Amino acid sequence: MADGNVDLLQGTLDLLILKAIATGPLHGWAIAKRIQQMSKDALTVGQGSLYPALYRMEERGYITSEPGVSAEGRRITLYTPTAAGRKQLAQKIETWETFAAAMRAVIRHA
Per residue in 41-72, pLDDT tens?
A: 999 999 999 999 999 999 999 999 999 998 89
If you write DSSP's letter for every residue of 51-76 in order, what string do you get?
Answer: HHHHHHHHHTTSEEEEEEE-TTS-EE
Band of residue 110 on the pLDDT scale cut at 50, 70, 90: confident
Between 1 and 80, residue with greater pLDDT: 80
d(C-alpha 11, C-alpha 66), whole Å: 25
Q: What's at 82, amino acid-wise?
A: T
Residue 2 confidence class, pLDDT cut points 50, 70, 90: very low
Q: Given this model, what pLDDT does residue 1 score?
A: 38
- CB neighbour class for 47 (10 Å; exposed up to 12, middle 13-18, buried from 19): exposed
C-alpha–C-alpha distance, residues 101 and 107, integer Å: 10
DSSP string, 11-39: THHHHHHHHHTTTS-EEHHHHHHHHHHHT
* Percent of the chain whose pLDDT exceeds 90: 85
Tell me if 18 sits within 8 A of 62, measured CB to CB. Answer: yes
pLDDT at 109 over 60: yes
CATH for the 12-108 domain, from 3.40.30.120, 1.10.8.640, 1.10.10.10, 3.10.20.30: 1.10.10.10
Compute the distance between CA of residue 62 and CA of residue 58 in angstroms, rounded to an integer.
6
pLDDT at position 74, please?
93
Give me the residue spans of the domains in the chain: 12-108
